[in-house]
Amino acid sequence: MTQVVEYVKDMMDIASTYRSQGKTIGLVPTMGALHDGHLKMMKQSIEENDVTAVSIFVNPLQFGPNEDFDNYPRLFASDLEKLQQIGVDYVFHPTVEEMYPRELGMTITVGHLAQVLEGKKRPGHFDGVVTVVNKLFNIIQPTNAYFGKKDAQQLAIIEKMVEEFNHAVHIVPIDIVREVDGLAKSSRNIYLTDEERKEAVHLSKSLELAQQLYDQGERDSDVLINEITQYLQKHVSGEIVEVAIYSYPELEEQVTISGQIFISLAVKFSQARLIDNIII
């Protein structure tokens, strides 16, 4: 039976008790509206730790003024059912007032890793992400924390934060979970119309095209970006917000590709902005 914990002090006390017993704690931070990508992380945490805690908290600090904070799907009853089915031990589900009882007197600012890609399009977004993740790490002090590679920029930033702030937590990256047709699972997919849902499969197909060109020896970023863009223009009605190639995890723009890279794209449909990526 998954225990619901709503208060910071209660969650701290529970986690502290397990740590004092030498037990390992896995944490999966989420904003709810759980899908198979989340569940994959949770199942791995259950396998690898004595205790697994999942946080469900829609964090207002990571939403901009014109973003979908108020409309973000909140499906706690069905989420809790999923957690119970797979055997999660605790779900930390605080209110905004519990997490931020008063206006923050200090902030964390992410450096150059947030100046590109999603961070450039959503100023302040990653400052909000690292603030809430820092709080969660301090409240629970997990042994392992699980993050999806679909949000690869976020993953790189969290790993850097752990390194620079000396958090005693091991970050476990989890591969993207996709629908049968290749669409990356996302809580925002529910906003797609039927026609957009059919088109959205082409995000992953455009990345497969880039992988093929790379495998054939193409190392010019502009060539890959142009091929992806032209493919998407033919196959989706949404606005192509960005196609970019960066080194990973340094997130430095690549002109001529060398080393590990991250090809990222974002497409804005009528009610949903979808991202996808591939790390090569």
pLDDT, tens only, 91-102 = 999 999 999 999
What value does the mean pLDDT take over residues 51-71?
Answer: 93
Pick the CATH number of 3-174 from 2.60.120.620, 3.40.50.2300, 2.60.40.10, 3.40.50.620: 3.40.50.620
Q: Which two tokens stand for residue 13?
A: 């006390």
The active-site residue out of 38, 125, 167, 202 is 38
Residues 233 and 140: their CA atoms lie apart, in Å, by 45
Would you call 38 a catalytic residue per the annotation? yes
Q: Which two tokens stand for residue 92?
A: 């930390």
Neighbour order of strands in the sheet with 144-148: 3-5, 90-92, 51-56, 25-30, 144-148, 170-174
Question: Does 206 count as an annotated binding residue?
Answer: no
What value does the mean pLDDT take over residues 253-271?
Answer: 94
Residue 17 has a pLDDT of 98
Question: Does 186 count as an annotated binding residue?
Answer: yes
Question: Looking at domain 187-279, which CATH architecture does it have?
Answer: 2-Layer Sandwich (3.30)
Q: Is the pLDDT of residue 213 over 90?
A: yes
Residues 130 and 141: their CA atoms lie apart, in Å, by 15
43 contacts 134 by C-beta, under 8 angstroms: no
54 contacts 88 by C-beta, under 8 angstroms: yes
Question: Which residues, 6 or more positions from 88, have their beta carbon under 8 angstroms from its beta carbon?
Answer: 2, 42, 46, 52, 53, 54
Question: Does 224 count as an annotated binding residue?
Answer: no
The domain ranges of the chain are 3-174, 187-279
Residue 71 has a pLDDT of 87
Q: Is the pLDDT of residue 22 over 90?
A: yes
Percent of the chain clearing pLDDT 90 (strictly above):
95
Cα 104 → chain centroid: 24
